[in-house]
Amino acid sequence: MRNERGSTYIITILAMTAILGFTALVTDVGLLLIKKVNLSNALDASVLAGIQELPSNSDKAIEVVKEYAQKNGVSPENIEVYIQNDNTLLKAYAVDDVNFMFAKILGINQSQVSASSTAIVAPVTAVYDGIRPFVVEQQDFEYGQQVVLKEGAGDGYNGNYGAVALGGTGSNIFRNNVKYGYKGKLKVGDLIDTETGNMSGPTLEGIDFILQVDYSTFDNFSRDSLRLWTIPVVDTLAVDGRKEVKVVGFAEFFVEGAVENNGKAEIIGRFIEFAVNGDISETQSDFGLKGVKLIE
């Protein structure tokens, strides 16, 4: 009888040990998986934030990656950042410790998880929001170059001054598009109508609205500045009257202001390289406006 009780006791102890071991395995493996998912999500967000500084500022891109990672609970010391392909590819790799709860019973105190994230920056082929109702003809732009975004009196082609109709014609739609940007998608290959006439009144009203609330300068502006305009690049503006022009790309400009001459408005901007949310293609002609995408 004693032998049977002893055997039952031993079996019970072994069963409890097995159950505890299984519980430790399931619980702590779950912790590992959760930590890995959180680490991966943090890296994705950090890489997408950092790559928006490329290709022009690789040091800033690395700084932003580590800053965003820290905000998401990842120590900057645990992150390695690589920039490749002429500053168009950014990759981050990180490791983090996981302290076990139940596995300590088995003498296992902690483990590590790792994750990586890679994103590319490439020319934009489609923009979904915020396009201003002006266009520029395709050309090779240089950073800081002054560009006329809308012609004044006596310039332009046969009544076309660089203004276009996005989402409809008329001064009210045009004015709102100047202030807030067109709330719709535009892509390379689309045909858009030129807006005949100088559209001076709604142009100046829209510009005044922006200048009264945004005092940025070309040497000191934020990414959300109202003076940053996404402008379609078209094949030509040499058309008569209201005619269709073809979108061949997109560019970004910092708007310095408008000049009124004999009731006609001229808008001057400076070209910049910039990254926005939008569709991208590595084969698209590059007019300075880039988009970003995670690739792994």
Q: Which is nearest to 56 in space by CA: 295, 293, 289, 296?
A: 289
Kindly state the greatest CA–CA separation across the chain: 115
- The CB density around residue 296, as the number of other CB atoms within 10 Å, is 8
Q: Residue range 270-292: average pLDDT?
A: 90
Residue 104 has pLDDT above 90, yes or no: no
Which DSSP state fits 131? B
* CA–CA dist 126, 188 (Å, integer): 6
Tokens coding 192: 């858009």
User: What does the alpha-carbon distance between residue 180 and residue 210 come to, in Å, rounded to a whole number?
Assistant: 9
pLDDT at 14 over 90: no
Q: What number of helices (H) and strands (E) belong to the chain? A: 4, 14
In the numeric block, which tokens belong to residue 237? 């503006």
User: Is pLDDT of 167 > 90?
Assistant: yes
Question: What pLDDT score was predicted for residue 66?
Answer: 94
Q: Report the C-alpha gap between 117 and 280 in whole angstroms.
A: 18
Structural contact between residues 184 and 167, judged by C-beta atoms closer than 8 angstroms: yes
> Quick one: what percent of the chain has pLDDT higher than 70?
82
Q: Is the dihedral of CA 38, 39, 44, 49 positive or negative?
A: positive
For residues 105 and 2, the model is more confident at: 105
| Segment 75-81 mean pLDDT | 90
- Residue 37 has, within 13 A of its CA and on its CB side, a CA count of 6
